[in-house]
Structure 1
Amino acid sequence: MKLRRRRAAALPAIDPCMGDPLARSFCDALAHRDWPTARQILHGTEHPDDRCFLLEACGSVPDVQDWIGTIAATDPLAQLVRGCHATAWAWEARGGYRAKYTQAEQFRLFFERLRLAESSLYDVVAANPDEIAAWAFLVRTARGLELGLEDGEFRFHQATSRHATNLKAHAEWLQTNCQKWSGSHDRMFHLARSAAAAAPDGNMLHALIPLAHLEVMLDREGPAARLYMTQPDVQAELRAAAERSVLHPAADLRPGWPLYFNTFAMAFAQAADHPAAAAVFSRLGDQITTHPWQYVPGDPTKTFNKARATVS
């Protein structure tokens, strides 16, 4: 009798729109160069976190820079899209590796595209200082252009003075304060813990805590990385942050919520807290995000699947 091989389970796909139908419509409109539809969607999205999510998702759409510039000359919303998209476009050129592994040509394109993003976004805030999304993305361009902590902090405060819990601004400022960029572990944790302490229950700012611990893990090698994540005080802080956000009954599942669930899922998996990881994975389903799984060498989807299988 001929034995049949069992077909391997299909890996979940990474959706830059994270299953959000409005973000998918927005990105599809940009892909088809249908600016009136894209503009209508963006104009109607008023919540700062939702607006930032749409503008983050649009970075996955190819060739936007080929046509958006002409429209941006007379339309501030198109200029906003141009700047936010160019930020993602710049990091695409740089790649995901640290500076010592990045080639000179990659850096040339990176800075060229970042300067386009910086110029576009500053045109936006010059015309409308209350455009929170532009300030949030400017935190990232300041980091990429190596403008220093003072510039980044100014932009961060411009965003958060208008929206105190802005997720995008906090995430970008946390990265700037990481040791691998311009800061230190102490600065990073001060920001993460201060923001989480001030955030209401259910808010996803609590995900800054696992993100900070993952950044420390990345600075350690081999067994030292796992030993760090499995320390009782780290495990306890991760649990407390999850109970105030992704595992809280009032968890705020705004567009983009899978990113924060993935962050906790990876942190709990690395911390060998299998019950907590399983609880997050069960709520997450197949909504995998590239970040933070790309922190581990290999295909993010395979890393996600392996972690989920290990804790289930």
Structure 2
Amino acid sequence: MFKKLNDARKAMRDGPGLTAQLAPDDAVVVDAPADFALPAVEAALHGEHAPAAELLAWTRQNQAWGDRSHLVATLGQASLQAPQWLETWRDEAPDDPDLAVVASRLLVLQAWEQRSHARAKDVTQEQFDAFHTTLADATAQIQRAVDLSPGDPEPWALAIVHARGLEAPADVLRGYVETLWEVDRYHYEGTSQAMQFLAKKWFGSHEQMYAFVHEAVDGAPADARIQELPLDAVLEHLAEDPSTALTQDPARVEDAVRRGQAYVEANAGAGHHLTAQTRNLLVRVLFHLHRFDEAYEQLVAVGPHATEFPWGYWGDAREEFLTYRRHVVTKKATGS
């Protein structure tokens, strides 16, 4: 009883000061676009394609693959709300390679929206039918993106998502991964999608997932975003089997945390689109490891930038982020 009273006093004394160093609750946004992408996204939502076309061309020509992945994903999401800008772009430049990539992304997003992100047992046959029809339509579009944009890893990353949706054979997935790695050996987005294919909740197992992750990060520079992948795998395991995720192989978990921390430290000045998800993952995993001081450091660094992954696995992403943030503050304040 006295411990509980003492903890309550500590929380009342130190909690407000700790909370003051965090972004206000009402400033927190999930998956906010990068600053550099905002003008292009806003123009697209108003039907104008030129800013996005110019920016996408720049990322391709300069092989800025991390920025390109973010931009394609963000513009694809915006196109779910307002696809008219793509039609205007298609009328003006039907063979533009960047148009082909964004159009592919949109079809893949539309397919997953039709399916919903629920577990297979909770998806209706009508939803599955629409999902597979749209994915079939996406096949030719993705091939067109591959043909129009040689040397671009983004179409191959989309091909991997496409393969997962169509339940393609493992050797087909492997072929896509190897081609992706020939273009960009440490491409985070495409490789993380391949990891999903091999996760227990899809077509693999924890063992297959971890083995693939070990291969994927082998030799990667400390500042490459692929260093987040072991942390992604721990989170997938945690979501599927929470009783074993952190205890089955503690060294593996520690390596994942170490890699994630080293990655964000090596990219301290990078845009939040490259580091926020890693920091959000660190918060969740470090919380479960009872390493509350380290979790709090990540919360201070991430500011208002919550991410759908990992929080969306357990409910509304924003609310989950805020809930865990409060828990971390309380634990740190009380020295739990």
| TM superposition score category, shorter chain reference | 0.7 to 0.9
Give the Cα–Cα distance (whole angstroms) in 2 for the partners of residues 92 and 134 of structure 1: 20
Verify the 8 A CA contact 2:76 2:103 in the aligned structure 1. no
Amino acid at match of 2:293: P
Q: Which has the higher contact order (CA 8 A, sep 6+)?
A: 2
**Residues 258 and 187 (structure 1), Cα distance of their counterparts in 2 relative to 1, 3 Å cut:** same
Q: Does residue 139 of the first structure (1) align with residue 157 of the second (2)?
A: no
- Out of 93, 96, 115, the residue aligned to residue 136 of structure 2 is 115
Verify the 8 A CA contact 1:87 1:114 in the aligned structure 2. yes
Partner of 2:224: 203
Partner of 2:114: 93
Provide TM-score, normalisation by structure 2.
0.80
Verify the 8 A CA contact 2:33 2:74 in the aligned structure 1. no
Partner of 1:178: 199
Structure number with the higher helix fraction is 2
Identity, % of aligned positions: 23
Partner of 2:66: 49
User: What whole-Å deviation, never above 9, does each CA across 1:104-159 have from its counterpart, x for those lacking one?
Assistant: 22212222222233321111112333121111111111111111222222122212
Query: Cα offset for 1:252?
Result: 7.3
Calculate the aligned-residue CA RMSD, in Å.
2.3
Q: How does 1:270-289 map to 2 (within 5 A)?
A: 270-289=288-307
User: What whole-Å deviation, never above 9, does each CA across 1:12-59 have from its counterpart, x for those lacking one?
Assistant: 44344x351222222222211212222112111231121111011123
Verify the 8 A CA contact 1:124 1:131 in the aligned structure 2. no
Q: Does residue 257 of the first structure (1) align with residue 275 of the second (2)?
A: yes
Verify the 8 A CA contact 2:186 2:217 in the aligned structure 1. no
Give the Cα–Cα distance (whole angstroms) in 2 for the partners of residues 127 and 41 of structure 1: 17
Partner of 1:59: 76
Unaligned runs of 5+ in 1: 1-8
Verify the 8 A CA contact 2:25 2:322 in the aligned structure 1. no
Amino acid at match of 2:164: R
* Secondary structure of 1:92 counterpart: helix
User: What whole-Å deviation, never above 9, does each CA across 1:52-92 have from its counterpart, x for those lacking one?
Assistant: 11011123213454563544743332121100122122212
Verify the 8 A CA contact 1:83 1:116 in the aligned structure 2. no
Give the Cα–Cα distance (whole angstroms) in 2 for the partners of residues 52 and 243 of structure 1: 22
Partner of 1:169: 190
Partner of 2:263: 245
Q: Which moved more, 1:55-64 or 1:75-84?
A: 55-64
Give the Cα–Cα distance (whole angstroms) in 2 for the partners of residues 41 and 149 of structure 1: 35
Verify the 8 A CA contact 2:49 2:85 in the aligned structure 1. no
Q: Does residue 155 of the first structure (1) align with residue 173 of the second (2)?
A: no
Aligned residue pair count: 297
Query: Cα offset for 1:216?
Result: 1.4
Q: Does residue 192 of the first structure (1) align with residue 213 of the second (2)?
A: yes
Higher radius of gyration, 1 or 2: 2
